[in-house]
Structure 1
C-alpha cells in the first residue's frame, strides 16, 4: 500500500486535495441537532450558561451548513451536475 497524500485513482492532489463536503454537511447537521436538544434540556434544568454555550455552537453549526451548501452548489455547477458520495 503506497503511503502518500491520497490513494491512487482518487481525485485531488497534494497541492489541491478534494473536500468531503457531504460528510462535513452530515456532521454539521448532527452537531446542530445535538446542541439544540441539549440546550433545551439545560435551559429546562436551570443551567443557563452551559445552555447559551450550546446555543452558540448550534449557531456555528447552522452557519457551517449554509457555507457547505453554497460550496456544494458551486461544485455541482463546476462538475456539470455530477453526483458525489458522502465522502467525496
Structure 2
C-alpha cells in the first residue's frame, strides 16, 4: 500500500478489518447505493442531517395531527396510523443520530 491509498476511504472489498472512526469521518462512498459504479456514476453519500430534520418534523406533525383527529373529528383509526408512523420516525431518528455520532458526514 502506498501513502496515496491511505487517503481514500476503505471499502469492504479492500479487506475484512473493521472500519475505523477515520473511515466514517471521511464518509463511506456507495454505502447505500446498490447501483453504484454503473455508467460512471459518482459515489453517493447519505444526507444524514436532512434525514434528522425530516424525521423530527414528521414526528411532531404526526403526533399533532393524530391528537387533533381524536379530539376534533373523533376519528381513532387515522390517528393510530399516524402514531405508528411517529414511532417509525423515532426509530429512524435514533438510527441516524447513532450514525452521526459514529462520525459519518452528512
TM over 0.5: yes
Q: Which runs of 5+ in 1 are unaligned?
A: 1-10, 77-83
CA distance in 2, matches of 1:18, 1:51: 35
Q: Which digits, 9 at most, give the CA deviation of each residue in 1:14-64, with x for residues without a partner?
A: 455211100001000010011010000011121000010000001011111
Q: Which residue of 2 is the match for residue 5 of structure 1?
A: none
CA distance in 2, matches of 1:51, 1:27: 20
1:65 aligns with 2:93: yes
Q: Which has the higher contact order (CA 8 A, sep 6+)?
A: 1
Q: 1:52 aligns with which of 49, 61, 80?
A: 80
Q: Which residue of 2 is the match for residue 24 of structure 1?
A: 51
The TM-score, its normalising length taken from structure 1, stands at 0.68
Q: Which runs of 5+ in 2 are unaligned?
A: 1-26, 31-35, 38-42
User: In the comparison of the two structures, how many residue pairs are matched?
Assistant: 68
Aligned-residue CA RMSD (Å)? 1.9
